[in-house]
Structure 1
Amino acid sequence: MTITTDPTVPPRTSAQIYQRLRSHLAFLKMGAAAEALSGVLDAARQEGTSELEAIEQLLAIEVDATENRQQASRLHFANLPAPWGIDDYDFSAQPGVDEKLIRELATLRFLDDAANVILIGQPGVGKTMLSICLARAAAEAGHKAYFTTCEDLVRRLKKAVAEHRFQTGLRFFAQPRLLVIDEFGYRKLDEDGRSLLFEVVNTRYLKGSIITTSHVGINGWAERLGDPMLAAALIDRLLHRGIIVGIDGPSYRMRSHQARADALRKAAAHGTPVTGKAVRS
């Protein structure tokens, strides 16, 4: 193909081309590339970088900025109550956790099989923290994840039913690749609540992963749900591709309280004031 130029049109200056390029980037909403344009061009001149390399650098900057925005959006949507990552969990202080298993779950391969994870243990052993860590890992890896408590999930779906938009409410909990349902069995559910919880689990069955945390063993779910048949159906779906993680160890909160009490006793003995620190629960 031959490119011809109109001799009656004067050639554009470098300044005009530069402004035109900035205009193109702005139109395409490539703000990071537009902001970096001047620096990339200066570096290309100083280092003798080819035009092709300069374009690649410019686009790489925009790609990084876009990925960062998308990740921030996923983390915002995930509704995580704390910013914990898997490396924040103190495995040495919680011998009841199978670190090798948790590290394997953190690879997120269970999402490929739409498998479920059930974290069971007494209050304070770190179940919620681990569920947050895994949900954060999923969001950072590019998956849509959402964290909710069992009570809040039921409350929101009851509200959706009352407002004649149940299907919309159900889709909200069905769409994420990973759904965390915290505090399962913490409070007994009424008949409507039990049915709504089952609808969520059933809709996600073999399609999306669920992480549940519970201080009640699976054998006690029927009593907590108040409906043995529904509990059996719910357990069947969760365990079909389910991984049970039992945590039999000391409570983080009790250990923190004990450490605080010990510090106060030592301070009182030496007449030293003690400043408080936030304690992870």
Structure 2
Amino acid sequence: MSHFKYCTRVMDSLNLKGMVSALDDLSEKENLSHLKFLEELLSSEIDYRTDRRLKRNMAGTHFPVFKELETFDFSRLEGITELQVKNLMDFRWIDKHENLLFFGPPGLGKTHMSIEFGLKAIQAGYKVCFERITTLIKLLKTMEVQRSSTFRINRIMKADVLIIDEIGYTPIDRKEANCIC
């Protein structure tokens, strides 16, 4: 067995898929010292894992659409400036376990902005979940009888950021409100 095949087999068995995909290209580069070769191989693995984590976190958020803050019309906002919004993107409020609330009339862009905050939080390494209040209530009501609901609630419980959309627009009875608390 060649050294190359042996290395790829060992990397596969150790689940180092980023290294396996980079090994062929790196082995053909000339004039790489042993340490530089190892550094680039390790960097490939880190990049691969970071990319997979971001994709997994994006898939698990349940965003209805993907929005960019660059397309947001800040002129419609009252009481907060674009600079204040961008300063919130440092996510100190997450680390302090503080809440961030967007409220106002329909069409203002609350969902748009919350999705953008969620996307940026994922890119910063936080786990994010997005749920509409109606979906969250349904999950809480059915979690004892449906495994999928339990799985999703567990994911929500592990999230660093939970975005609950349409709270003020959906009528909730007392029993449903107690489910949330």
Determine the structure 1 residue equivalent to 2:119: 136
Q: CA deviation at 1:196?
A: 1.1
Total equivalences in the alignment: 179
Q: CA deviation at 1:172?
A: 4.3
- The separation in 2 between residues aligned to 1:90 and 1:158, in whole angstroms, is 37
User: Does 1:23 find its partner at 2:9?
Assistant: yes
- The separation in 2 between residues aligned to 1:169 and 1:18, in whole angstroms, is 42
Q: Which runs of 5+ in 1 are unaligned?
A: 1-14, 199-281
Relative to structure 1, the CA distance from residue 192 to residue 164 in structure 2 (aligned partners, 3 Å threshold; closer, same or farther) is farther
Q: Deviations over 1:93-152 (max 9, x none)?
A: 435342122112111110011100111111001011111111111112111110011111
Larger radius of gyration: 1
TM-score scaled by length of structure 2: 0.88
More strand by share: 1
Q: CA deviation at 1:37?
A: 1.3
**Equivalences for residues 231-242 of structure 1 within 5 A:** none
User: Does 1:50 find its partner at 2:33?
Assistant: yes
Q: Provide runs of 4+ in structure 1 moved above 6 Å.
A: 164-169
- The separation in 2 between residues aligned to 1:68 and 1:169, in whole angstroms, is 22
- The separation in 2 between residues aligned to 1:62 and 1:169, in whole angstroms, is 29
Q: Which runs of 5+ in 2 are unaligned?
A: none
Q: CA deviation at 1:35?
A: 2.3
User: Does 1:98 find its partner at 2:84?
Assistant: no
Q: CA deviation at 1:90?
A: 3.0
Relative to structure 1, the CA distance from residue 66 to residue 169 in structure 2 (aligned partners, 3 Å threshold; closer, same or farther) is closer
CA contact (8 A) 2:139 2:153 kept: no
**Which residue of 23, 26, 32 corresponds with 1:37?**
23
Q: CA deviation at 1:171?
A: 4.4
- Aligned Cα root-mean-square deviation (Å): 2.2
TM-score scaled by length of structure 1: 0.58
- The separation in 2 between residues aligned to 1:17 and 1:169, in whole angstroms, is 44
